[in-house]
């Protein structure tokens, strides 16, 4: 049996790589990095989100890669009130929250927003 330990990276197909880098950097503090032959990613902690430009995806790729089809949950240590204040200061609308949800390790309090492509981004803080 294969023992999966963690996620190293995931891929978002985006309409505009630079706009995505700017958004995730300004709003979520991620670092835009370059690698390989002109590829771009968003780095945070020990993970990254590789960015594929729509219509020019790198192989291999998802069967039907389209911008706005992702739904991700990012873990944060920031309390919901601070998240809401920061999003308001950045001019980013809150889709929902704060609400209680269940994360991989237990109860979380989440705030939802959308990135420039319409991907749903959940910011979850573990409770207790």
Positions marked catalytic: 122
Residue the block writes with tokens 């002109």: 38
Predicted structure pTM score: 0.95
Residue 66: predicted pLDDT:
97
Average pLDDT over residues 9-15: 97
**Each residue's pLDDT tens digit, 103-119:** 999 999 999 999 999 99
pLDDT tens for residues 62-80?
999 999 999 999 999 999 9
Give the model's pLDDT for residue 128.
83
Task: Give Rg (Cα) of the chain.
Answer: 15
Domain segments of the chain as ranges: 9-126
Given the candidates 3.90.1150.10, 3.40.50.2300, 3.40.1190.20, 3.10.180.10, the CATH classification of the domain at 9-126 is 3.10.180.10
Residue 54 pLDDT > 90, yes or no? Answer: yes
Residue 2 has a pLDDT of 95
Neighbours of 49 (CB within 10 A): 20
The angle that helices 80-90 and 17-28 make with each other, rounded to 10 degrees, is 130
Which DSSP symbol is given to 26? Answer: H
């Amino acid at each position: 049996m294969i023992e999966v330990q963690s996620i190293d990276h995931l891929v978002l197909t985006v309409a505009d790589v630079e706009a995505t880098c700017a958004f995730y950097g300004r709003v979520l503090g991620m670092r835009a990095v370059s690698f390989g032959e002109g590829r771009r990613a968003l780095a945070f902690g020990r993970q990254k989100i590789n960015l594929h430009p729509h219509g020019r995806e790198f192989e291999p790729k998802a069967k039907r890669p389209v911008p706005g089809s992702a739904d991700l949950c990012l873990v944060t240590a920031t309390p919901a009130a601070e998240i809401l204040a920061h999003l308001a200061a950045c001019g980013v609308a809150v889709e929902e929250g704060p609400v209680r949800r269940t994360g991989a390790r237990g109860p979380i309090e989440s705030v939802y927003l959308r990135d420039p492509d319409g991907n749903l981004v959940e910011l979850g803080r573990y409770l207790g």
